[in-house]
Structure 1
């Protein structure tokens, strides 16, 4: 049962041992080029206003001296939200439901932030390990706690995104598998519930992309 349940997340499609399912990560780029040459549309205006709002918010979090870094986090949000939405389409592989994908996004960002902070702002990074006003006897314990909480950051980022994507897809799969055994009246109720769940998953796709990008921005702002 569990093998069949999670088989929808397995990258099984391959030609000559090449995992083709991971190419779904690049499908989001197909929606971007037309924004640069097509006539303005509602979708284009919406996407421009969304990215402009994110740029302003990330610039506030990073500070005026690092405003140019917002491009990285807006691009990160775009990549994740495209993959989250594409995963809601039938027969499209959801790459963001795998830790291999989410950890590959979170870990290099965190490592680069740590290297930059410890090389350029060593005293500032040491100061972060001991909160202001901590009593002397508690300082070793606070350093240990802050170090552990810092080290697990990329893992929490990756697991949060992957777990939220998996949970919704599993619920849709479980309810969908009960369809053939239901009566017509219950089947109508199942279709309505599936539509409502799809709407909820669409909201989760946006929220989790936003949370991932904002937390990455906050982690970057701490090393300045």
Structure 2
């Protein structure tokens, strides 16, 4: 029984902590694709990346060629870390704002710098939606500015909160196991399996949402 409910998310659990090493574990599975005969998993992954490329290309309109690869890499990185966090004793790095903000903030900042330097008039036009009455324009500029500034925060908090919520629910239910009867324990195990399947779906969905929203923010500055 844990003394602190959030201790499972503590990255500094020892003097020589290797928790953050889980962030690069996904990289270790990639090199085999380059020297082994492609398997069905390889073909499935290529199909997924090709589908994502086509979708991001539509969202980005006529952006710089190859820019879809950035968002496909972002999707892959987040999804691998989300899935690795579902395994026992592997640190969930995407449940920490230091990582999610580290991904969202540089992306958003680069989009803003590129947009304001190269397309200043276009960026000013985004602050006032088309058809806004003149009397409401100052308020719309304030609202649009605030919504623009909090974008990296919402991206980071959304991903971290979803990862924390699922893991906390699994931990809370798991801690009640030792005090249950055999029948209730079987029901608990079945419920935990269902929640694990749900968390697997959340791991994919949240990485997809993060990548798609980043793509949409990028398309607005062109």
TM-score (normalised: structure 2): 0.97
Q: Which consecutive unaligned segments of at least 5 residues does structure 1 have?
A: none
SS in 2 for 1:101: helix
SS in 2 for 1:64: coil
- May I ask how many residue pairs the two structures share in their alignment? 222
1:9 matched residue in structure 2: 9
Q: Which moves more between the two structures, 20-29 or 173-182?
A: 20-29
1:24 matched residue in structure 2: 22
State the alpha-carbon separation in 1 of the partners of residues 2 and 200 from structure 2. Answer: 25
Aligned-residue offset at 1:15: 4.2
1:216 matched residue in structure 2: 214
Match of 2:158 among 157, 160, 176: 160
1:94 lines up with 2:87 in the alignment: no
8 Å CA contact retained: 1:28, 1:83: yes
Q: Which consecutive unaligned segments of at least 5 residues does structure 2 have?
A: none
8 Å CA contact retained: 2:96, 2:160: yes
Aligned-residue offset at 1:20: 2.2
1:132 matched residue in structure 2: 130
State the alpha-carbon separation in 2 of the partners of residues 166 and 48 from structure 1. Answer: 30
What is the RMSD of the two structures over their aligned residues, measured on CA atoms? 1.3
State the alpha-carbon separation in 1 of the partners of residues 30 and 61 from structure 2. Answer: 28
8 Å CA contact retained: 1:130, 1:139: yes
State the alpha-carbon separation in 1 of the partners of residues 7 and 22 from structure 2. Answer: 17
8 Å CA contact retained: 1:13, 1:20: no
State the alpha-carbon separation in 2 of the partners of residues 204 and 13 from structure 1. Answer: 27
1:48 matched residue in structure 2: 46
State the alpha-carbon separation in 2 of the partners of residues 108 and 144 from structure 1. Answer: 23
State the alpha-carbon separation in 2 of the partners of residues 176 and 74 from structure 1. Answer: 35
